[in-house]
Amino acid sequence: MGIGAAAAVLCLLGFGGDSLAQSSNDSLRVGGSTTLVPSVVNAASTFMETFETWDKASSALPGEPTIIYVTGGGSGFGVKSATNGTVDIGMASRDLKDKEKSALGTFEAVLVGKDAVAIAANVDNPLAKTRKNLTTEEVRKLFSGELKTYKDIDASLPDEEIVLLVRDASAGSAEIFQEKIMGDAAVSSGALQMPSQGALMKKLESNASALAYMSSGLATENDGIQTFALDGVEPTNANVVKGAYPLARPLLMIVKGAPNPMAKRFLDYMLAEGQTDVASQGYVPVHEVQ
C-alpha cells in the first residue's frame, strides 16, 4: 500500500468529530468502537490499495482518489456520529439502545461479526496462575472494589493490590459489563479508565497486578494475556456462536438512512473480503453466526 493510502486511513485515529466533519465529500468517514478499529483499518487499507479511485471499486462512483478515514472514540461516539452525520458509517460493539434507534430514525445496522467481553489478566498475574474460572459474583466484588487485594480472593495469594482496568462509560464493553455483571453496583472509583481496547491491552501486558475486562478476540490473540471462564463457560468463539457465553456482543456498522454509494460499496466489501480482517482479530466472522 502506498504511503498516501496508509496516511489517509490512519490520520484521524485518536481525533474527534471536528476532524472527520472537515473531510472531503469524496472521502468516506468511519468512526466509533475501538474494538472494530483494527479490522476496519486493515480492510480500508486493502480497499484503498486495491481500488485507487472510487470508480475502480464501482463504475457508479466518481473517479476521485479513494480515501477512507477511520477514527475510534467508542461505540457511543460511533452511534452519535452516525446520527448527526459526522461520520458516514458508525461502529458499535454492542446492541443499539431503543433511544438510539429512535434518534437514528431510518437506519441500517450491518452485522459484520461477533465478539465477547472477557475477564482477563497478564499471564503472570497471581490469580491467573491459580484460577481459570471466576463466578459472576466474584467478578462483581472484584470490580466494585469490595475485594482490594489478591489475598482477599484467596488467602494463599499475595497481599498485593488489585489494579482494575476498565473502559470509559461510552465503550460497548463497558456498557455490557455494567448491564450483565455489575447491575446496580458501581465500578470502583479507583479503576483506571483506558481510552481504547489497544491501550487497555498494552497496560495489561505491562502490569502483572492488573485485572481487566476486554475484547475476547483481542485477548485470545495475545499469548501474554489469560482469559477466565465465567461461571464455567469460556469466552471462546464456539461458545459465542452457540450463545452459551453471557457477554457475547454484535459488531455493527451503522448508517443513518440509506447508505451513500461509497458507504454501500465499503459495507459490501466488509461482508466479503473484509471478513478476513474481522477473523484476523480473533472475532467471529458473520457467516458463522447467521
Q: What is residue 14's predicted lDDT score, i.e. its pLDDT?
A: 43
Q: What is the DSSP string of 43-103?
A: HHHHHHHH-SBHHHH-TTS-SSB-EEEEEEE-HHHHHHHHHHTS-SEEEESSPPPHHHHHH
What CATH code would you report for 116-248?
3.40.190.10
Q: What is residue 20's predicted lDDT score, i.e. its pLDDT?
A: 52
Would you say 213 and 173 are in contact if contact means Cβ atoms under 8 Å apart? yes
Mean pLDDT of 22-26: 62
pLDDT tens-place string over residues 216-256: 988 988 899 999 999 999 999 999 999 999 999 999 999 99
- Residue limits of CATH 3.40.190.10 in the chain: 3-115+250-288, 116-248
Q: Which CATH entry fits the domain spanning 3-115+250-288: 3.90.1010.10, 3.40.50.1780, 1.20.140.10, 3.40.190.10? A: 3.40.190.10
The CA-atom distances, in angstroms, between 158 and each of 126, 130, 135, 203, 206 are: 7, 12, 20, 21, 19
The full length of the chain comes to 290
Q: Note the pTM of the prediction, 2 decimals.
A: 0.87
Kindly tell me the burial class for residue 137, based on how many C-beta atoms sit within 10 Å of its own C-beta (0-12, 13-18, 19 or more).
Answer: exposed
**Percentage above 90 pLDDT, the chain:** 86
Higher pLDDT, 15 or 165: 165
Mean pLDDT of 17-32: 71
Q: What is residue 7's predicted lDDT score, i.e. its pLDDT?
A: 41
C-alpha cell at 118: 472477557
pLDDT tens-place string over residues 77-135: 999 999 999 999 999 999 999 999 999 999 999 999 999 999 999 999 999 999 999 99
Mean pLDDT of 159-170: 94
Mean pLDDT of 24-28: 80
Partners of 32 in the β-ladder: 73, 91
Q: What is residue 25's predicted lDDT score, i.e. its pLDDT?
A: 73
Closest CA to 211 of 255, 270, 157: 157
